[in-house]
Structure 1
Amino acid sequence: MTDSLHILLTASIWAAVLRIATPLIFGMLGELLCERAGIVNLGIEGIMTVGALSAWLAAHAGLGLWTAWLVAALVGALFGAFHGLFSISLAQSQHVTGLGVTLLASGLASFVYSVSVTSAGSPPTITPFSPLLLPFIHAPFLQATAPTYLAFALAALLAYVLWRTPLGLAIRLVGEHPQAAHAQGLSVVAIRYGALCTGSAIMALGGAFLTTAVFNSFVINMVQGRGWMALALVVFGAWRPGLGLLGALLYATFDAYQLRLQTQFPNIPYQLFLAAPYLLAIVAMIPMARRAIGPQALMKAYVKGDR
């Protein structure tokens, strides 16, 4: 038991927590932005997958890592626009459209990967991001890659924009009462498209992190449900970036801890350890979800002139 508790005092586990949490933070922030504007984006899993592939292909083609991230963001934004065509312009079901985007993006990523990598051996690798040692921070557990710091900065920026700027007020008003927003002279369609495309671009960065910082190549199904977990984190965080960030770190702590406990208790089936973070996350989310109140116009199609 002492050894199990000692794990929490090692620098490696906290470095792992930051690494595990980072793609969840990007996914959560992207989904939160979409939902604050009244759009549930169930395409998140597929968008993260195609973002991972886009970044890896761009880096493998010789582009810089940050340029590869820009490519991933642009691809994510394109899928967001495709989502918006059906869910905003055509006022179709957001659930069905989102699931369609996930199937399309995942299938397209698999096809492009199979065409790009023709060899039967291991896929080509790239040189990923290296840990960034900040000169004013000497804590070993904060030796993360630059995208991790970017994720935390983006959470602070999104919180500031949503609650401290006219743009954020417009986004929240569109998500709460689009008719009132239209009466104030705001373009509900334009704001929803902007939030959906920007949020989808941020989601894609979560996938890009996997191929350019955690691993150095692309693997089919490497997202492994992180998109769905990010959806749950939005509810856990009551549609607020700060609480969503806390939820991502909490889940990542559970996950990093169970990986190390597997070596401490080899006689216990590893499947129990793998399930533990999800069970603990569900238990932690129940009281938060009961108190959370989402945007009032969430999942409701806006048709100009309707009341």
Structure 2
Amino acid sequence: MSFMDILALIVPAAIVSAAPLIFTALGGVFSERSGVVNIGLEGLMLFGAFTGAVTIYYGEQLGLNGAAPWVSFIVAMIVGAMLASIHALASITLKADQVVSGVALNFLAAGLAIFLTKKIFNAGQTPVISERISKSDIPFLSDIPLIGKLFFSNAYLTSYVAVGVALIVWYVLYKTPFGLRLRSVGEHPMAADTMGINVTKVRYIGVLLSGALAGLGGAVYVASISGNFTHSTITGQGFMALAAMIFGKWHPLGALGAALFFGLAQAISISGSHIPFLQDIPKVFLLIAPYVLTILALAGLVGRADAPKALGTPYEKGKR
């Protein structure tokens, strides 16, 4: 197996694995840039996967066919935002501990998704969906020598949508008045308040956007990778997205690059048995590699990351 063959095996798989992480990490950027810690990305992503699987399944029954996955993305975003509103209410309005609220959200989402799966389908998993996002070559771009085969052949459209969304989020955060307001309430909410910015409203918007994008990430995972929902469909991917956000220093493009890095680790863990110099490594080491990298990122061993200054601090009007 040549070096190009190895790259052709790993790179497309890495891009596919990274797409759900990119969406979820971008959601984390919105929430934490506004000053609200969102440990609940795992639960939001998990419930988005459940919502996506159920929507696609019933969309197939209604004859939506190829449109079913795209409808599921919209539904998952709406449901994700609704679920995130619980975290927003607890952490912004009621000024509860944001970490505790996020952890509670993870438990709530996991329990509710499994309970609803058993009630709806009388089983521990949803049926396997037949209408999934299919792989395709990007016209013209796939014909480019070398990089065309690696980046634009046999790929999912959702992967390119994820990259496009990352660029849009960067533009919104750094080139629009809304982005400036969002970042200001995460850095110095009192100063933002004195300038007439509604801190509570902006933080609510940030948390709801994080729920929508995390829900989208879960739905994309089902439509492109897993094919159905079970209790083990989302097992740590939300925390990987959280690590990607921190690794990327709370910047959309940084989160994009970090998510691609973690996607590469996941691709190697899946395809490692087909790569000559990795064949002799015990499979368990390849499987745990993405999670080890997540721990290292969260531990700060990959570089110092400066969080927004007001992150995790509830804002009380008139108090410094």
TM-score, normalized by the shorter chain, greater than 0.5: yes
Match of 1:200 among 211, 215, 230: 211
Match of 2:308 among 271, 295, 298: 295
Residue aligning to 2:243? 232
Preserved CA contact (<8 Å) 2:30 2:210 = yes
CA deviation map 1:215-245 (0-9, x unaligned): 3221222111011111111111111111111
Specify the code of the residue in structure 1 equivalent to 2:158: P
In the alignment, the residues of structure 1 paired with residue 37 and residue 292 of structure 2 have an alpha-carbon distance, to the nearest angstrom, of 24
Specify the code of the residue in structure 1 equivalent to 2:149: P
Preserved CA contact (<8 Å) 2:246 2:297 = no
Match of 2:288 among 268, 271, 275: 275
CA deviation map 1:132-157 (0-9, x unaligned): 43223112332322221111011000
Specify the code of the residue in structure 1 equivalent to 2:74: L
The 1:120/1:31 distance shift into structure 2, 3 A limit, reads closer
The 1:210/1:195 distance shift into structure 2, 3 A limit, reads same
Q: CA deviation at 1:53?
A: 0.8
Preserved CA contact (<8 Å) 1:30 1:201 = yes
In the alignment, the residues of structure 2 paired with residue 134 and residue 262 of structure 1 have an alpha-carbon distance, to the nearest angstrom, of 28
Question: What does 1:238-277 align with in structure 2 at a 5 Å threshold?
Answer: 238-263=249-274, 264=276, 267-277=280-290
Residue aligning to 1:76? 80
Instruction: Please state if 1:190 is matched with 2:201.
Output: yes
The 1:133/1:279 distance shift into structure 2, 3 A limit, reads same
In the alignment, the residues of structure 1 paired with residue 253 and residue 157 of structure 2 have an alpha-carbon distance, to the nearest angstrom, of 20
In the alignment, the residues of structure 2 paired with residue 207 and residue 122 of structure 1 have an alpha-carbon distance, to the nearest angstrom, of 14
Instruction: Select between 79-88 and 124-133 the one with higher mean Cα deviation.
Output: 124-133
Q: CA deviation at 1:24?
A: 0.9
Q: TM-score, normalised by structure 1?
A: 0.92
In the alignment, the residues of structure 1 paired with residue 259 and residue 212 of structure 2 have an alpha-carbon distance, to the nearest angstrom, of 19
In the alignment, the residues of structure 1 paired with residue 194 and residue 241 of structure 2 have an alpha-carbon distance, to the nearest angstrom, of 33
Uncovered stretches (5+) of structure 2, i.e. residues with no partner = 143-147
Match of 2:170 among 144, 159, 166: 159
Specify the code of the residue in structure 2 equivalent to 1:212: A
CA deviation map 1:35-74 (0-9, x unaligned): 0000111111111111011111111112522111111000
Taking every aligned residue pair, what percent have the same amino acid on both sides? 36
- Local SS of the residue matching 2:309: coil
CA RMSD of superposed structures (Å): 2.1
Residue aligning to 2:6? 8
The 1:163/1:288 distance shift into structure 2, 3 A limit, reads farther
Residue aligning to 2:95? 91
Displacement over 6 Å in runs of 4+ = none
The aligned length equals 303
Instruction: Select between 83-92 and 120-129 the one with higher mean Cα deviation.
Output: 120-129
Match of 1:25 among 22, 27, 31: 22
Match of 1:140 among 119, 137, 149: 149
Preserved CA contact (<8 Å) 1:51 1:205 = yes
Instruction: Select between 91-100 and 54-63 the one with higher mean Cα deviation.
Output: 54-63
In the alignment, the residues of structure 1 paired with residue 294 and residue 128 of structure 2 have an alpha-carbon distance, to the nearest angstrom, of 35
Uncovered stretches (5+) of structure 1, i.e. residues with no partner = none
- Local SS of the residue matching 2:135: coil
Q: CA deviation at 1:160?
A: 0.7
In the alignment, the residues of structure 2 paired with residue 163 and residue 6 of structure 1 have an alpha-carbon distance, to the nearest angstrom, of 38
Q: TM-score, normalised by structure 2?
A: 0.88
